[in-house]
Chains A and B, each alone.
Chain A
Amino acid sequence: MVVRREEERTTVDRYSGRVRVNHWVTAISLILLAISGAALFHPSLFFLSSLFGSGSNTRMLHPWIGVVLLASFAILFIQMVRHNFWTKADTHWMRHIGDVMSGHEENLPEVGKYNGGQKIIFWLMTLLILVLFATGIVIWYEYFGTTFTIEQQRFGHILHALAAIAMLLVVIVHIYAAFYVRGTLNAMTEGKVTGGWAFRHHRLWLRREARKGVIDERQVPPRRLGPNAPAE
């Protein structure tokens, strides 16, 4: 993780290639699960099953994609969990969520790698993926059709549906935030964000990263503008 002075901008490394690959495997699995799950959930959305070839294919693939999601999210969890423990500053930040939504982040305490909202998303996704996987096993008729009683499977279905709805709401918040807070997407596409973005949203994290050292990649040293320019 490095702060880099480039020709046109300053960037801060946020996600390594391994984290990004994992994130996108998880994201694609989740989208495929949402589409195939929606096809089986509501008759008006059954047409989505044709994206997977047929209804039978959808029924067959959905649980296996769930297994992929569980595996990739488990690795993502290990990569990210140490930055996601709750602190008092997070409670304070959450109390002022209104300021964040209206774009007045300057009134808030300095944020580390993740803010309170991001941590809540992280833990909600962890919880919901566990619930979805557990209930998914109960209703995976191909392999577990006789492992659980019919009554248990009925409860498995409704819990799976409710958890899936909650998961979609969490995912909508996650995607929305990534678009609404400009400059965030770069973290997961290029792996780095601009210095200004880090200053605005995760200042405490920027301080820690900068303390580790700055790499100057500019070809020419910056020009001194006057007698008061800071000496290097």
Chain B
Amino acid sequence: MGLQSQDFARISATNFRPPDVRHDFEVAKLIDVSKCIGCKACQAACLEWNNLREEIGINRGVYDNPHDLTPNTWTLMRFTEWENQESGNLEWLIRKDGCMHCADPGCLKACPSPGAIVQYNNGIVDFVSEHCIGCGYCVKGCPFNIPRISQADHKAYKCTLCSDRVSVGQAPACAKACPTGAIVFGTKQAMLDHAQGRITDLKSRGFKNAGIYDPPGVGGTHVMYVLHHADRPQLYANLPENPRISQVVELWKGLTKYAGMAAVGFAAAFAFVHATIARRNDVSRAEDREAEHLIDEEAERGRQA
């Protein structure tokens, strides 16, 4: 890590407590889906600020462009057309997809490389490329299917929540670029308060299930959504209803890790001790002599046959 930073909450694959004397406010980005007009200014701002270029793709009959997150596209507008049976309206649900910056990040839990994934005290989860080994474990750890591995440099990439901008008191590039104010940035508490105002407004306009998406299964997130149908988050391009780190990953990175080390260590120690103290399993002189007789006998039998 190039810059001296003393505000880590977690560092991947390390057993020691990270340096964390400096404490910042917990930050959050709030994406108000009901205010989004799908202009993709956030996508463009993300490419521009991070100096990324996406390949020119092909049109597959949907507005999503590119069709999925890539090592260069860290945020992506996902468009869903949904017929609301209750109101009879066709609703165009547009969700800005990207890293949710979980309080309990599955990517960080799965990562085997010390310091390749860090979580700052302000809640931002960041990939540190020089420590990344390109194994793809973070992809399996993530409950939101966000990280992407570059085939060119074999490093994992995702939204940084513009940690470079935030560290100098700026809002993320996407929030700065949003023309409708659908993306706002501030402390987590301020964003929760702001969301309450938006939810009250939406409810007054008939969206009785309006609510905030801050899933407790991952300890809450530092990117939150205001949804008009918070009771059905899957409507929004399969936003998971109750995301949590997969039990398989928990088992792999939890019990298996410790039990496996213990089992192998114990077996090696037992073998060593037994080999040292047990009676030697050695050939006796008598057996050497008996072998000679047996060889003579059998050789004779062989000659007769």
Contact = CB atoms under 8 A, between A and B. Distances in A.
Contact of B274 (A43, A150, A180, A198): A180
B176 interface: no
A103 B283 CA distance: 10
Nearest to B304: A211
A41 B11 CA distance: 16
A150 B131 CA distance: 23
Given A42-B257, A158-B256, A203-B294, A141 B283 contact: no
A230 interface: yes
A176 B288 CA distance: 24
Nearest to A144: B136
A102 B279 contact: yes
- Most B Cβ at <10 Å: residue of A154, A197, A206, A208: A154
B220 interface: no
B245 to A, nearest CB: 10
Given A141-B134, A183-B283, A151 B301 contact: no
A55 B133 contact: yes
Contact of A200 (B246, B252, B264, B287): B287
Given A42-B261, A172-B271, A196 B302 contact: no
Contacts of A10: 288, 291-292, 295
A145 B291 CA distance: 58
A40 B13 CA distance: 10
B295 A206 contact: yes
Nearest to A183: B283
Contacts of A42: 257, 260-261
> Looking at chain A, what size class is its interface with the partner chain?
35 or more
A197 B283 CA distance: 6
A137 to B, nearest CB: 14
Contacts of A58: 133
Interface stretch (A19-27, A68-76, A124-132, A162-170): A162-170
B3 interface: no
B35 interface: no
B15 interface: yes
Contacts of A151: 246, 248
B278 A180 contact: yes
A181 B281 contact: yes
| Overall SS of chain B's interface | helix
Given A154-B140, A165-B260, A41 B287 contact: no
Nearest to B137: A157
Interface in B129-146: 131, 133-137, 139-140, 145
A196 B284 contact: yes
A42 B131 CA distance: 16
B1 interface: no
B270 to A, nearest CB: 9
A158 B248 contact: yes
B278 to A, nearest CB: 7
Contacts of B134: 56, 59, 141-142
Nearest to B286: A196
Given A158-B252, A211-B301, A199 B287 contact: yes
29 contacts: A9-B288, A10-B295, A43-B112, A49-B133, A55-B112, A56-B133, A56-B154, A59-B133, A103-B281, A105-B281, A142-B154, A145-B136, A151-B246, A154-B252, A158-B248, A164-B260, A165-B263, A165-B264, A169-B263, A176-B275, A194-B288, A195-B291, A196-B287, A199-B283, A199-B291, A207-B298, A210-B297, A211-B298, A213-B299
Interface of A: 3, 9-10, 39-44, 46, 49, 54-56, 58-60, 101-103, 105, 139, 141-142, 145, 150-151, 153-155, 157-158, 161-162, 164-165, 168-169, 172-173, 175-176, 179-183, 194-200, 203, 206-208, 210-214, 230
Q: Which 10 A-B pairs have the closest CB atoms?
A: A141-B136, A196-B288, A210-B298, A199-B291, A195-B291, A211-B302, A55-B133, A176-B271, A43-B13, A196-B283
